[in-house]
């Protein structure tokens, strides 16, 4: 006999599992701190580049070259930040993606469909918006990929600054979106922004990655083995003509992110825990420091809205991202016959989609690659990325603040732990032991209040029996 099909509608953006919630909370805590540092670095770069007395020093430091020329690594400080430090960022992104695929929400195809489709639509629509805008104004189409990226650290920094109590499901959705976004961004960089290939260097990089994988499979441990090998792979990848950050994401994807019996954390989780603060707290802020320093003036900002390339970037980030992610989410729910979590509204999805319009880090990187050799256009596009990210952040702030009272109630419900066992009550409501623990706590509290009530009643009775006490009436004159 065929079992009847379940009629329970699947919910999207519902409550996370407890392990996933714990992981997301830890990851977002680090990213939030890094995002605040990133915001500070961006502001510092803008001040450094726009104060007349400091501008020349900013240019001197950014273009100062160092590194072994014999190895093809005599690079400027800004180049080291973009190609070197961002490899660490993409290494962490690779680990995140691997963990999501084997232990997180992406391991379930039904659950994975939502963030993957939303991320793809959130990249395709901004690219389309840029292309249409640039073509309509007879501008260059080279920058089509600039508005496709989402900067999770900057987005979380905005959340930290405005103090909104965004529920964990929406935060996890934003994080997963950014992880998938990062993967496709690195694919775009590898496919569309690769110079002439040096097959000898590429072959060496591939051989290094194979050795990296074999060492991991063999259970070899020790940073003194992997760090030098990672540097060699990175250098070979850089000299191959493929952007060096590809080496970072490739090595991140090779780490084992599922736990064996007896393990509290997988190797990937342990390494991510160690490297994420380096990525969020040092690598990305330093990249921002040497990439966000563009000359900003009233005329330059006005030019952003008159040049087709820069207008395409702004509209792609502000309009394209919001419509793409929201549309992808709605279509996924519509065609999979899923429904939105009862605690949320579609307005919440649109708010998070607007927040994803903060492109910053990867958008700045792609802008440099797309218009390499044209310093003027590169700076104009950087200004457009900064302005578009600022507009998206402002729009998301307004939308999120409108619903913040609702979010605060949801967060308080998620955090409530009446039985004081360290696990939020919402994850234990089906556990009989939880209700027995609550009953014991309430009975103990009730007994304590009865004891206090008896003591107070006895004290009041004794006071009433004392001659001249407060219990007697005094009708005579004072």
Write down the pLDDT at residue 322.
95
Which of 106-110, 130-134, 314-318, 343-347 is least confident?
106-110
Q: Is the pLDDT of residue 213 over 60?
A: yes
Strand partners, 75: 66
Which of 78-92, 396-410, 456-470 is least confident?
456-470
pLDDT digits (tens, 9 = 90+) for 435-448: 777 777 888 888 88
Which of 199-208, 216-225, 246-255, 399-408 is least confident?
399-408
CA–CA distance, 298 with 309 (Å, rounded to integer): 18
Tokens of 24: 């997301």
- Per-residue burial over 317-326, b = 16 or more CB atoms within 10 Å of its CB, e = otherwise: bbbbbbbbbb
Write down the pLDDT at residue 148.
92
- State in Å, rounded, how far the first CA of the chain is from the last one: 94
Tokens of 40: 């500070």
Write down the pLDDT at residue 1.
41
Write down the pLDDT at residue 4.
45
Cβ atoms within 10 Å of 8's Cβ, excluding its own: 6
Element (H, E) at 65: strand 65-66
pLDDT band per the 50, 70, 90 thresholds, residue 3: very low
Q: Is the pLDDT of residue 413 over 70?
A: yes
Where is pLDDT greater, at 375 or 14?
Answer: 375
**What is the rounded average pLDDT for all residues in the chain?**
83
pLDDT digits (tens, 9 = 90+) for 143-172: 999 999 888 778 877 877 776 677 777 877
Where is pLDDT greater, at 468 or 457?
Answer: 457
Write down the pLDDT at residue 392.
94
To the nearest whole percent, how much of the chain has pLDDT over 90?
A: 31
pLDDT band per the 50, 70, 90 thresholds, residue 23: low
Where is pLDDT greater, at 324 or 69?
Answer: 324
Write down the pLDDT at residue 154.
80
List of E strands, 85-143: none
CA–CA distance, 131 with 124 (Å, rounded to integer): 10
Q: Is the pLDDT of residue 2 over 50?
A: no
CA–CA distance, 183 with 189 (Å, rounded to integer): 10
Q: What angle do CA 82, 83, 87 make, to 5 degrees?
A: 105
Write down the pLDDT at residue 295.
78
pLDDT band per the 50, 70, 90 thresholds, residue 467: low
Which of 10-14, 335-339, 466-470 is least confident?
466-470
Write down the pLDDT at residue 77.
92
236 neighbors 209 (Cβ within 8 angstroms): no
Mean pLDDT of 5-25: 59
Where is pLDDT greater, at 219 or 475?
Answer: 219
Q: Is the pLDDT of residue 454 over 70?
A: yes
Distances from the Cα of 477 to the Cα of 122, 471, 472, 473, 474, angstroms: 86, 18, 15, 12, 8
CA–CA distance, 132 with 55 (Å, rounded to integer): 36
Strand partners, 66: 75
Tokens of 200: 């000898």
Residue 309 sits at φ, ψ, to 5 deg, of -65, -45
Q: Is the pLDDT of residue 299 over 90?
A: no
Write down the pLDDT at residue 193.
85
Which range of 234-243, 313-322, 434-443 scores highest in mean pLDDT? It is 313-322
Write down the pLDDT at residue 216.
92
Tokens of 262: 């007896």
Where is pLDDT greater, at 236 or 421?
Answer: 236
Mean pLDDT of 432-459: 82
Write down the pLDDT at residue 229.
95
């Amino acid at each position: 006999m065929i079992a009847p099909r379940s009629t329970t509608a699947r919910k999207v953006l519902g409550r996370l599992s407890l392990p996933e919630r714990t992981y997301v909370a830890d990851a977002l805590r680090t990213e939030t701190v890094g995002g605040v540092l990133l915001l500070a670095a961006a502001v510092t770069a803008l001040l450094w580049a726009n104060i007349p007395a400091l501008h020349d020093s900013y240019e001197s430091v950014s273009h100062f070259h160092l590194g072994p020329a014999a190895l093809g690594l005599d690079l400027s400080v800004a180049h080291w930040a973009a190609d070197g430090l961002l490899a660490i960022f993409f290494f962490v992104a690779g680990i995140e993606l691997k963990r999501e695929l084997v232990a997180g929400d992406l391991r379930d195809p039904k659950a994975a469909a939502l963030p993957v489709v939303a991320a793809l639509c959130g990249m395709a629509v901004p690219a389309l918006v840029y292309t249409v805008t640039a073509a309509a104004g007879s501008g260059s189409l080279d920058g089509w990929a600039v508005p496709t990226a989402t900067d999770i650290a900057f987005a979380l920094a905005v959340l930290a600054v405005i103090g909104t109590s965004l529920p964990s499901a929406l935060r996890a959705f934003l994080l997963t979106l950014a992880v998938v976004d990062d993967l496709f961004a690195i694919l775009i960089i590898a496919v569309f922004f690769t110079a002439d290939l040096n097959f000898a260097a590429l072959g060496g990089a591939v051989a290094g990655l194979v050795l990296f994988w074999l060492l991991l499979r063999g259970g070899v441990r020790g940073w003194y083995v992997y760090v030098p090998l990672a540097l060699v792979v990175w250098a070979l990848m850089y000299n191959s003509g493929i952007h060096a950050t590809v080496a970072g994401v490739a090595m991140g994807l090779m780490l084992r992110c599922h736990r064996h019996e007896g393990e509290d954390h997988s190797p990937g989780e342990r390494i991510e825990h160690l490297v994420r603060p380096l990525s969020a707290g040092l690598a990305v802020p330093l990249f921002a420091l040497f990439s966000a320093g563009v000359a900003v003036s009233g005329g330059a900002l006005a030019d952003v809205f008159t040049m087709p390339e820069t207008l395409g970037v702004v509209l792609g980030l502000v309009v394209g991202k919001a419509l793409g992610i929201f549309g992808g989410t709605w279509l996924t729910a519509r065609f999979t016959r899923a429904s939105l979590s009862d605690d949320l509204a579609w307005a919440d999805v649109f708010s998070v989609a607007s927040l994803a319009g903060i492109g910053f880090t990867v958008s700045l990187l792609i802008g440099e690659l797309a218009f390499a050799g044209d310093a003027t256009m590169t700076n104009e596009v950087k200004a457009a990325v900064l302005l578009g990210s600022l507009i998206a952040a402002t729009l998301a702030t307004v939308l999120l603040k409108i619903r913040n009272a609702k979010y605060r109630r949801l967060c308080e419900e998620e955090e409530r732990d009446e039985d004081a066992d360290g696990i939020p009550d919402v994850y234990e409501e089906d556990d009989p032991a939880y209700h027995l623990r609550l009953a014991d706590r309430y009975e103990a509290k009730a007994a304590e209040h009865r004891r206090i009530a008896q003591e107070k009643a006895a004290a009041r009775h004794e006071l009433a029996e004392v001659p001249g006490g407060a219990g007697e009436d005094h009708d005579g004159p004072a």
